[in-house]
A = this chain, B = another copy of it.
Amino acid sequence: MSRWKDLSSGEFALLDTVFWSTGLSRDALAQRSAFSKTRANAAVAGLLERELLEEAGLQASSGGRRAGTLRLHRGLGVLLGADLGATGLRVGVLTPDLQVLARHVESADVRKGPESVLSRVRALMRQLLTEAGLTPRDVIGIGMGVPGPVNFEGGQLVNPPLMPEWDSYSIREDMKADFEAPVFVDNDVNIMALGELWRMQRTLQNFLVIKVGTGIGCGIVCQGQVYRGATGSAGDVGHICVDPAGPRCHCGNLGCVEVMAAGPAIARMAREAVEAGQSVLLAETLAATGTILPEDVARAVRAGDTAANAIVQRAGSLIGQMLASVVNFFNPSHVFFGGSMMRIGPLFLASLRQSIYQRSLALSTRQLEIQVTPLGEQAGLIGASVLAMQETLRMNGAAR
C-alpha cells in the first residue's frame, strides 16, 4: 500500500487508464491519457520503477509491429470479489489486472441474514487466500455485489425486498473482522454491468445488463458510466407492471414482471402444468424430488418438453414486454442477459428477443443487439473486482 503514498493525481489517472485498458501498448496509453507522449512516457517509466506498473509481454499483433503492453503491477497485492445472489454466492481472489487466482461457488440463502452469510463469505475468502499462498494483508481492495438496492456511499442495503434482515446492516464493519482493506458494495446487476464495461474497455457507452434469476434487475451504463439514479434505485425493473390483473408481488403491487416471469414464477408455472397433466417429464421430476426447481424446467426445455417450452416462452414474452418499454425510453446499443435463468438456453433468449423487437419502436431497435452477457456467469465476480480496484484507486487518488 505504501507504494502509492507519494503519487500525483496525474499518476493515479494513468494507473486508472492502464486498469481500464488491459493489453494497451505504451503508445496507445499515451494517446488515451491527458499527457503529451513525452510526459506520459516519463510518468510510465516512474511507475515501472516504483513497481506500480509492469510490462505484460507483447500485445497480439493487429497488423502493425508488436508493442509492449502494460498492466498494474501484480506485486501491489490482490483483490477479493464476492457476488452474492439470492440463492448462491461466488467468491474469488484476483490480481490487479483481474486474472482469477482462485475462486469458489456454492449455493446460499441470503434470507439467513447478514451475519451468517457474511461470516461464510469471509471464511471462504480466507481459505482461497491461503490456497493461493496469500494472507489478508495482501488484499488491497474488496468488492461485493448484493441482490438488492444499495446505498453506494454507505455500502449498505436499503429496504431490500428479498432480504429484509440486511436493511442498513454495515457490511463494511462486518468485513473488518478479517480484512483491513477497503470494502465497496453495489447492487448485483450494477457490478455485472461494470464488469462488462471493463471487459469492453468502455468501447460501448450506452447498454443494459438484465439479470434474470430469483428476481429481475437491470444494470445501466449511460455515457460510459454505471448509472445508479437519483437515489440509487435505477434499474429496478423487476417491479414494472406487465399485467394489472396479475398476481400480487412481495412488493405489494399487482402483476410485477418479477412475480410473473422470474425463477420462482417459472417453477410455479411448471407445478401448475403438472397439476393440469400437461407434462409427463415434469411430473416425474416432482414425484422423484418432491419439488420442481427452475433448473428442472430448463432441463425439460432442453429435452424438448412442450409444456416447459410454453412456460419459458411466456416468461420470455413478459420480460420482453417490459424491456420493450425500457428500450423505447433508453435506446441502448446492446441489451445483455445474464443470471441463472439464462441457463435455460437459446429458446429463452429467442423469446426475449422476439418480444422486444415486436413491441419496441423500429427506431430504437434498428441497431439494437440482444445477447447473453459476454462474461457469462463470471460477470458478477469480475465486476465486483473492477469495483474494488477502481474505487481503491479513486480513494487513494482523491486523497492526494
Judge whether A359 and B158 touch: CB under 8 Å. no
Rounded to whole angstroms, the CA-CA distance of A47 and B321 in the bound complex is 55
A residues 224-261 near B (Cβ < 8 Å) are: 225, 227-237, 239-241, 251, 253
Q: Is A324 located at the chain interface by the 8 A CB criterion?
A: yes
Instruction: State which of A5-13, A24-32, A360-368 sits at the interface with chain B.
Output: A360-368
What DSSP secondary structure best describes chain A's contact surface? loop
A263 CB → nearest B CB, Å: 20
- Cβ–Cβ contact B359 & A241, under 8 A: yes
Asked if B332 and A363 sit within 8 Å, CB to CB, the answer is no
Name the residue in A222, A324, A328, A332 with the highest tally of chain B Cβ atoms < 10 Å from its Cβ.
Answer: A328
Other-chain contact of A328, B228, B240, B331 (Cβ < 8 Å): B240
Which residues of chain B come closer than 8 Å to A130, judged between CB atoms? none
- Min Cβ gap A209→B in Å is 13
Residues of B within 8 A of A241 (CB): 321, 324-325, 359
The 8 Å CB contact of A231, one of B227, B253, B366, is B366
**Chain B residue, CB-CB nearest to A369:** B230
Q: Output the least CB separation between A312 and chain B (Å).
A: 20
Q: Give the Cβ gap from A379 to chain B, nearest Cβ, in Å.
A: 20
Q: Are A240 and B363 in contact (CB under 8 A)?
A: no
Contact indicator A230/B332 (Cβ below 8 Å): yes
CA distance A330 to B230 in the complex (A): 8
Most buried by B among A149, A220, A236: A236
Q: Are B328 and A329 in contact (CB under 8 A)?
A: no
CA distance A211 to B277 in the complex (A): 51
In angstroms, how far is the closest chain B Cβ from the Cβ of A70? 28
Inter-chain contact A233/B158, CB cutoff 8 Å: no
B329 touches A240 (CB 8 A): yes
Q: Are B363 and A253 neighbours in the complex by a CB distance under 8 Å?
A: no
A385 interfacial contact with B, CB 8 Å: no
Query: Is residue A72 within 8 Å, beta carbon to beta carbon, of the partner chain?
Result: no
Known: A218-B329, A329-B326, A329-B329. A361 touches B236 (CB 8 A): yes
Distance between Cα atoms of A215 and B366 in the complex (Å): 21
When distances are taken between beta carbons in the complex, the residues of chain B under 8 Å from A234 are 329-331
B222, B231, B333, B366: the one contacting A223 at CB < 8 Å is B222
13 contacts between A and B (CB under 8 A): A205-B230, A206-B229, A206-B230, A223-B223, A223-B225, A229-B364, A230-B368, A231-B366, A235-B331, A236-B361, A241-B359, A251-B361, A325-B325
Identify the A interface with B (CB < 8 A). Answer: 149, 158-159, 205-207, 218, 220, 222-223, 225, 227-237, 239-241, 251, 253, 321-322, 324-326, 328-333, 359, 361-364, 366-368
